[in-house]
């Protein structure tokens, strides 16, 4: 399906070509029954996009609280959550490499014990009273972002067979329009649990799997603090499409 449109604000035809399925997580994953109930059972129906889909989530920062980019403590300078202190930084651009300033990023993750702050999380692991585990903030003028957190732990998933999710952080990024919204999970390289994760390995192409890995950087020393540092850049699709596989 080729989706295209033109708006006054965006003269010229923008195109959303289909994703290359080799770069996307399989919609139905063997041994993960929930993946079969979470996707449409019937073929998708092509329909025109409406104005609300062609425009961005305008002034969303006025409707939702934004700005919290430190999940490692409840208040600045307060007691820190348990676990490995880390930062994540990166840059969000469009396909031409232009920075996406003011893009809304939402993050959520488990604590160091692999426990989410969510009523449906039944994992028998402790909550951390000093861990927030989620946040919402905007990219700067250069499309850059940075947040502080605690490295998440793995957690078990009940399915046909139990398996453990490897440590990962969930990202949702809003670009120029609702159609640009990008939701994904970013993983840590070298984690033993990566090898058996049904979702990570549900991305058929091995090179594409590397696109959902954090890049580890030398640890950052700030005065008396030494912090693990990771990087992840994102390219949002727009008038063309996601990068071709080599």
Measured between alpha carbons, how far is 238 from 140 in angstroms, rounded to an integer? 20
User: Can you tell me which residue has the tokens 């031409």?
Assistant: 96
Question: Which active-site residues does the annotation give?
Answer: 116, 155, 165, 168, 170
Q: What are the backbone angles phi and psi of residue 113, rounded to the nearest 5°? A: -90, 0
Q: 184-189 — which CB contacts under 8 Å span 24+ positions?
A: 184/212, 185/212, 186/212, 186/213, 186/214, 186/232, 187/212, 187/213, 187/214, 188/151, 188/213, 188/214, 188/216, 188/230, 189/213, 189/214, 189/215, 189/216
């Amino acid at each position: 399906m080729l989706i295209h449109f033109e708006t006054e604000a965006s003269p010229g035809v923008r195109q959303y070509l289909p994703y290359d399925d080799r770069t996307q997580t399989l919609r139905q994953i063997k041994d993960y029954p929930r993946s079969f109930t979470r996707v449409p059972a019937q073929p998708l129906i092509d329909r025109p996009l409406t104005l609300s889909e062609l425009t961005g989530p305008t002034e969303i920062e006025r409707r939702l609280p934004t700005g919290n980019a430190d999940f490692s403590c409840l208040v600045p300078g307060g007691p820190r959550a348990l676990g490995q202190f880390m930062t994540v930084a990166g840059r969000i651009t469009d396909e031409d490499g232009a920075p996406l300033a003011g893009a809304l990023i939402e993050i959520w993750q488990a604590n160091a014990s692999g426990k989410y702050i969510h009523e449906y999380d039944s994992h028998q692991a402790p909550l951390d009273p000093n861990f927030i585990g989620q946040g919402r903030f905007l990219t700067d003028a250069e499309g850059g972002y940075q947040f502080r957190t605690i490295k998440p732990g793995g957690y078990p998933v009940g399915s046909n067979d139990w398996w453990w999710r490897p440590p990962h952080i969930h990202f949702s990024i809003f670009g120029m329009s609702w159609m640009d919204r990008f939701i994904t999970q970013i993983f840590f390289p070298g984690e033993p649990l990566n090898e058996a994760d049904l979702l990570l390995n549900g991305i058929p192409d091995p090179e594409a799997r590397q696109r959902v890995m954090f890049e580890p950087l030398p640890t950052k020393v700030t005065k008396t603090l030494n912090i693990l540092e990771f990087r992840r850049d994102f390219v949002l699709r727009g008038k063309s499409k996601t990068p071709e596989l080599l």
